[in-house]
């Protein structure tokens, strides 16, 4: 702690520290005659002598009243000074929130469970926004198989891992000003070389060049955004996602996989032996809760679980293992899929043991909202209880819909359910 900085001109707190010191002196002096403590005999005798001149035989009573007044004055001044100091700190440090509220929230979240969440896209970032309110011990493990949009261009042009999904998770966990979040999510629209790129992607790409390592660049970006928890790529290797359809056609590239009216049989990574990092393994090993999803089944969730070492490490873990099933089917990827179809796809690719519970939403939203989604080929995911039981999966169902113009999980309700399950089973 740099004590001299507290006395720098203009901070607006020095005067209140001095008032607090004066208040303590008042309280100390007041305690002496009131309770008979030998703290300031000289001051007490002087006061008594002065009072004797004015009040005579009543001086002892007047002394005690004066002492009580001094103590109360000291307490009131101390309280008032602390209020003013907090007000100054709120003004200069946290203009958008109360510093005591932030300290309380930070203290509470520091005690939260160790949670590891796997996924990508908007599903994972949406989940993280809810989880971060009650725990700082969050690890988001993000797929790096993306090859479309700004991420795909940076991947091809600079040879780096795609930063898009990682950027979304960093912003979701950010504890900075909203302007910083807007900056990282800003997408250039003007024509030219920057068109379609997001600032956050370019920032991570620049940090990768400066530091010479993608994982280090993500860590540095985490510090800039003061995120709660950490974001890790599932692997540091350059992997591509491929799919085999029921007609045995094979396609390579994450962005090329969703095809309308074409059923996916399986997905795979190339190279197949791409391994995860020691930090991801350590996060899984010490976790209290492991969450898979929500997110695109074949292009966000499975690309994580197929990385060598991840599924095996999850199976060995004693943590609470949850799969958060999507609210809606995804056109070209999970057409007509039920909750059991989603669960079976993960089990078919990874084997049993990567999750024990499936969290499903049991509400369908308004007719007007459903019609909007149906026009794009998306429908509410049906809960087929019997098939899920046959798969050996415990069902946790609840109303988890966000009450707005989208049919997606409410991050706060979903997080609340996950923390409740953690308390119940851990």
Token output for 58? 């009543």
As a whole number of angstroms, the distance between CA 201 and CA 197 comes to: 7
Under 8 Å between Cβ of 140 and 168: no
Question: What is the structure's pLDDT at 227?
Answer: 87
**Residue 138: closest CA among 415, 421, 426:** 415
Under 8 Å between Cβ of 208 and 154: no
Question: What is the structure's pLDDT at 89?
Answer: 64
**3-class DSSP state of 192:** coil
Question: What is the structure's pLDDT at 152?
Answer: 80
Q: Indicate the helix (H) or strand (E) that contains 373.
A: helix 367-374
Average model confidence (pLDDT) for the chain?
85
As a whole number of angstroms, the distance between CA 407 and CA 364 comes to: 8
> Per-residue pLDDT tens for 105-136?
555 546 789 999 999 888 999 999 999 988 88
Token output for 25? 């002196």
Under 8 Å between Cβ of 225 and 174: yes
Least confident of 42-51, 236-245, 329-338, 411-420: 42-51
In this structure, what is the dihedral angle of CA atoms 154, 268, 138, 148, given to the nearest 10 degrees? 20
The pLDDT of residue 93 is above 60 = no
> Per-residue pLDDT tens for 278-295?
999 999 999 999 999 999
Least confident of 154-163, 176-185, 337-346, 408-417: 176-185
> Per-residue pLDDT tens for 175-186?
765 777 788 888
- pLDDT above 70 coverage of the chain, percent: 80
Comparison of pLDDT for 361 and 175, the residue scoring more = 361
The pLDDT of residue 102 is above 70 = no
Question: What is the structure's pLDDT at 31?
Answer: 63
**Residue 237: closest CA among 282, 296, 277, 283:** 277
Least confident of 190-204, 219-233, 303-317: 190-204
Rounded average pLDDT over 259-274:
93
Q: pLDDT band for position 170 (50/70/90)?
A: very high
Comparison of pLDDT for 69 and 64, the residue scoring more = 69
Question: What is the structure's pLDDT at 22?
Answer: 73
Class of the CATH domain delimited by 106-425:
alpha beta
Q: Which strands form 394-398's sheet, in the order they lie side by side?
A: 230-233, 138-142, 115-119, 289-292, 320-324, 357-361, 394-398
Question: What is the structure's pLDDT at 1?
Answer: 46
What is the Cα 338 distance to its own chain's centre? 29
Q: Which strands form 240-245's sheet, in the order they lie side by side?
A: 250-252, 240-245, 264-270
Q: Where are the domains of the chain?
A: 3-93, 106-425
Question: What is the structure's pLDDT at 318?
Answer: 95
CB atoms within 10 A of CB 52: 15
């Amino acid at each position: 702690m740099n004590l001299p900085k507290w006395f720098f001109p203009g901070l607006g707190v020095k005067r209140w520290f001095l008032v607090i010191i004066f208040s303590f002196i008042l309280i100390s002096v007041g305690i002496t005659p009131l309770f008979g403590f030998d703290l300031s005999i000289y001051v007490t005798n002087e006061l008594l002598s002065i009072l004797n001149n004015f009040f005579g035989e009543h001086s002892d009573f007047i002394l005690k009243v004066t002492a009580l007044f001094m103590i109360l004055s000291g307490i009131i001044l101390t309280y008032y000074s602390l209020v003013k100091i907090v007000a100054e700190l709120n003004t200069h440090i946290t203009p958008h929130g109360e510093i005591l509220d932030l300290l309380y929230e930070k203290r509470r979240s520091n005690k939260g469970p160790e949670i590891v969440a796997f996924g990508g896209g908007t599903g994972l970032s949406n989940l993280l926004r809810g989880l971060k309110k009650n725990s700082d011990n969050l690890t988001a493990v993000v797929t790096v198989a993306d090859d479309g949009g700004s991420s795909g261009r940076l991947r091809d042009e600079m040879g780096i891992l795609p930063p898009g999904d990682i950027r979304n998770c960093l912003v979701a966990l950010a504890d900075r000003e909203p302007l910083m979040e807007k900056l990282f999510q800003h997408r250039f629209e003007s024509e030219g070389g920057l068109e379609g790129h997001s600032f956050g992607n370019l920032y991570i790409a620049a940090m990768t060049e400066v530091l010479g390592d993608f994982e280090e660049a993500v860590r540095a970006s985490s510090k800039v955004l003061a995120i709660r928890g950490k974001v890790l790529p599932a692997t540091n290797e350059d992997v591509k996602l491929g799919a085999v359809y029921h007609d045995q056609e094979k396609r390579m590239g994450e962005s090329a996989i969703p095809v309308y009216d074409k059923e996916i049989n399986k997905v795979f990574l190339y190279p197949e032996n791409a391994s995860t990092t020691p930090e991801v393994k350590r996060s899984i090993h010490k976790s209290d809760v492991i969450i898979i999803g929500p997110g695109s089944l074949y292009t966000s969730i499975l690309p994580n679980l197929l990385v060598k070492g991840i599924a095996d490490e999850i199976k060995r873990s004693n943590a609470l293992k949850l799969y958060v099933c999507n609210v809606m089917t995804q056109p070209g990827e999970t057409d007509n899929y039920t909750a059991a179809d989603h669960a079976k796809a993960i089990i078919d690719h990874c084997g049993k043991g990567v999750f024990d519970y499936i969290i499903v939403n049991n509400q369908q939203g308004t007719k007007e909202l459903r019609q909007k989604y149906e026009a794009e080929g998306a429908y509410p995911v049906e809960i087929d209880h019997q098939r899920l039981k046959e798969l050996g999966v415990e069902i946790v169902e609840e109303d988890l819909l966000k009450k707005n113009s989208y049919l997606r999980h409410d991050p706060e309700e979903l997080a609340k359910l996950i923390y409740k399950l953690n308390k119940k089973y851990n």
